[in-house]
Structure 1
Amino acid sequence: MKSVRRLIFVILSLFCISSIMHAQDIDEIIAKHIDAHGDTDKWDAIQSMEIRGRFIAFSEEDDFYALKTNSGAYYSELHLGKHKVTEAFNGTSGWTIDPWHDFSFPRALNKTEVNVFNQKAEFFTPFYKWEERGFTVELLGKQTVDGIDVFAIKLSRPNGKSETWFLDANTYLEYKCESEWADFGYGGPAESYFDDFRTVNGIVIPFFIERTFYQRNRMLQIEDIKFNIEVDEELFEFPRSAEMKKLAFLEGEWDVKVDVWSRRGSWYRLDSTFSIILWESTNRLLEKIIYDRIYVQSKWINYSYISSEKKYKIIVYNGFSSDFELFEGNFNDSTFIADQVFINREDSTQQNAFSRIILRDMEGDSFVFEVKTTRDAGANWRPQDKFTYIRRKELF
């Protein structure tokens, strides 16, 4: 019985010693890896990093620009073939303008791409402050890759994604990484290789990175790196389209005069109210307005722009009648005109009778929102309602 207990004690002791040695081994390897990249105090002092170089994709070589911050933000401009691609990531979400998808407007990154940008945003290695950032590591052992002795380490991120890093057993610098990458929005395995390590201001950085996935091959040759440059944080945020910027003057709080066209052929003041117009999302304005037109009218007015159709859309929800009206239009010089459209155009009445919204006299602190109607398919227009907006002044 004593022999069995002694055997169990020995086995447990060996297991604990092995675990401690394993932990010491991986901590020592990572520490040497960080030291190989230079003075950690200098890395701690870096707030931002600007990278310029040459990028090769689809057998086309062109300029490359990237910006990283120590908060995990990333911005880049590159070319895939002959198409310029813009990418941005604020540390949690991001966007891209990628003409390969026939998108001339920004789109949000999907979950697979967010994982990729977490990798792109790394300053120089994910092992830098890995414990503080909630990463876990596992030493897979010593291996030989392409004739090079390496330490293989599995790194798992808080998002559940993992990657395997292969550190040169002699230099402790990264040689290769296996991770999940994205190809036109789809996830897939990738291999990244690092070379041409150079010392800049006392820190060591790979100036050549090659990445392969499926049949793709990407190569980046860095030419210049600058540290602690001034950063415009708006670069990382989802951009507002040029078309919606034209409507940006609508944002704010407004005093509104409500007039209706009388039978005498003149405007008649019916009510005075106020309105709030806010950015409900990056490229959508929402107005809430309540006014009396004999009966109380409560309206929610959405403004947006559909790039594929090259048209502005205005959707008006009327709380009094609980229905929606859709308008489509564009700017005509200094006037904005949008006509009502219907889903069912087979109704001859709808073909001939509809409304028009006109935004005019737009001067920054005032504008006119006018509604006209037609009963002869637009041959003649009759004034109906006029809303004169005056921007509310701040009291203090």
Structure 2
Amino acid sequence: MSKLTHLKALVIVLLAGVMHSVAAQGLDEIIDKHIKAMGGADKLAKLESLKITAEMDVMNMKVPITTIIIQNKGFRSETTVQGMTVVQAVNGNTGWTINPMTGQTKATALPEEAVKSMAAETDLTGLFKYKEKGYVLTLDGEDEVAGAKVYKVTMTLKNGIQRINYISKDTFYILKIIVHLKMNGQDIMSENTQSDFRQVEGIYYPFTSEVSTSAMPGTKMTLKITDLTVNPKIDPAIFNMPE
């Protein structure tokens, strides 16, 4: 390799390093503004649990859903369809379900991929302290969501699940999240568009979500939160798989 070629390669490496540094600075500034918009670091640091009561409008049905989460520990949802309640829960690295709609009246273990996906939902604070959580973030340019200009920030979790966050350049709320994961050996993409942000105990939450997934093509689901309780007392035993 000639000296000129060596010099060109060195310049490219140096420029790449400079551009990465600039991008990192811009990314951290965006995340800081997002954290402030969501209520601030002090409030998020004290977020330990949530109880969410919501109603999902899907396929001309109103489906009530109750979700209970303890930060980084447990997740449990109860969904009532046609008078039957489907339970899904994760406790650390294990998960289980009861689904009477399929004739299943006893708890059975969830597949590993489903556990991985649901376990990611036990992180209530998202981009907050992402470096300490071991998440990898990249700033991938700008886009638009329903006419609003957004930053496109991709977050890769420790378990490999990838989330693309579309952060408003105006409010710094996350207006849309696209998630890529594997389920039953297939690549699944879900899209969640968020709106109607409201403050509860000093933290802002989206009270309306429109969800679509490649697992159910052509089907759109609208989720509306009717009640949200911050830091309720929760018995961790509710995440344990019944015998």
Q: What TM-score, normalized by structure 2, do the two folds share?
A: 0.86
Residues 25-104 of structure 1 mapped to structure 2, 5 A cutoff = 25-80=26-81, 82-104=83-105
In the TM superposition, what whole-angstrom CA distance separates every residue of 1:156-206 from its partner, at most 9, and x where no partner exists?
111222121211121111111111468899762111111110011211111
Seen in structure 2, the aligned counterparts of structure 1 residues 180 and 99 have a Cα distance that, compared at 3 Å, is farther
- Match for residue 236 of structure 2? 233
Q: CA deviation at 1:155?
A: 1.2
Distance 1:93 1:185 in 2: 19
Distance 2:96 2:185 in 1: 12
- Match for residue 111 of structure 1? 112
Seen in structure 2, the aligned counterparts of structure 1 residues 72 and 174 have a Cα distance that, compared at 3 Å, is farther
CA contact (8 A) 1:53 1:224 kept: yes
Seen in structure 2, the aligned counterparts of structure 1 residues 29 and 132 have a Cα distance that, compared at 3 Å, is same
Q: CA deviation at 1:49?
A: 1.3
Decide which structure has greater helix share: 2
Residues 1-396 of structure 1 mapped to structure 2, 5 A cutoff = 10-80=11-81, 82-124=83-125, 126-180=126-180, 188-213=188-213, 214-240=217-243
Q: CA deviation at 1:82?
A: 4.8
- 3-state SS of 1:50 partner: strand
Q: C-alpha root-mean-square deviation of aligned residues, in Å?
A: 2.6
CA contact (8 A) 1:60 1:82 kept: no
- Which sections of structure 2, spanning at least 5 residues, go unmatched? none
Q: CA deviation at 1:147?
A: 2.5
Larger radius of gyration: 1
Q: CA deviation at 1:22?
A: 0.9
CA contact (8 A) 1:116 1:180 kept: no
- Larger deviation: 214-223 or 152-161? 214-223
Q: CA deviation at 1:102?
A: 2.5
Seen in structure 2, the aligned counterparts of structure 1 residues 122 and 194 have a Cα distance that, compared at 3 Å, is farther
Report sequence identity in percent.
26
CA contact (8 A) 1:77 1:85 kept: yes
CA contact (8 A) 2:113 2:184 kept: no
Distance 1:26 1:149 in 2: 16
- 3-state SS of 2:199 partner: strand
Decide which structure has greater strand share: 1
Distance 1:43 1:3 in 2: 52
Q: What code does the residue aligned with 1:221 have? A: K
Distance 1:220 1:145 in 2: 18
Q: What TM-score, normalized by structure 1, do the two folds share?
A: 0.55
Q: What code does the residue aligned with 2:188 have? A: G
Distance 2:79 2:4 in 1: 69
- 3-state SS of 1:130 partner: coil
- 3-state SS of 1:53 partner: strand
Distance 2:19 2:50 in 1: 40
Distance 1:91 1:216 in 2: 31
Seen in structure 2, the aligned counterparts of structure 1 residues 217 and 106 have a Cα distance that, compared at 3 Å, is farther
- Larger deviation: 174-183 or 47-56? 174-183
Q: What code does the residue aligned with 2:223 have? A: L
Q: What code does the residue aligned with 1:173 have? A: Y
- 3-state SS of 1:41 partner: helix
Q: What code does the residue aligned with 2:208 have? A: F
Q: What code does the residue aligned with 2:159 have? A: N
- 3-state SS of 2:31 partner: helix
CA contact (8 A) 1:76 1:88 kept: yes
Distance 1:85 1:73 in 2: 17
Distance 2:22 2:144 in 1: 22
Seen in structure 2, the aligned counterparts of structure 1 residues 22 and 99 have a Cα distance that, compared at 3 Å, is same
Seen in structure 2, the aligned counterparts of structure 1 residues 109 and 17 have a Cα distance that, compared at 3 Å, is same
Q: CA deviation at 1:21?
A: 0.1
Distance 1:183 1:219 in 2: 22
Seen in structure 2, the aligned counterparts of structure 1 residues 96 and 228 have a Cα distance that, compared at 3 Å, is same
Q: CA deviation at 1:136?
A: 0.8
Distance 1:212 1:87 in 2: 20
Seen in structure 2, the aligned counterparts of structure 1 residues 60 and 5 have a Cα distance that, compared at 3 Å, is closer
Distance 1:132 1:121 in 2: 16
Q: CA deviation at 1:227?
A: 2.1
Q: CA deviation at 1:122?
A: 3.0
Aligned length: 239
Seen in structure 2, the aligned counterparts of structure 1 residues 89 and 187 have a Cα distance that, compared at 3 Å, is farther
- Match for residue 296 of structure 1? none
Distance 2:202 2:232 in 1: 17
Distance 1:62 1:70 in 2: 25
Seen in structure 2, the aligned counterparts of structure 1 residues 81 and 175 have a Cα distance that, compared at 3 Å, is farther
- Which sections of structure 1, spanning at least 5 residues, go unmatched? 241-396
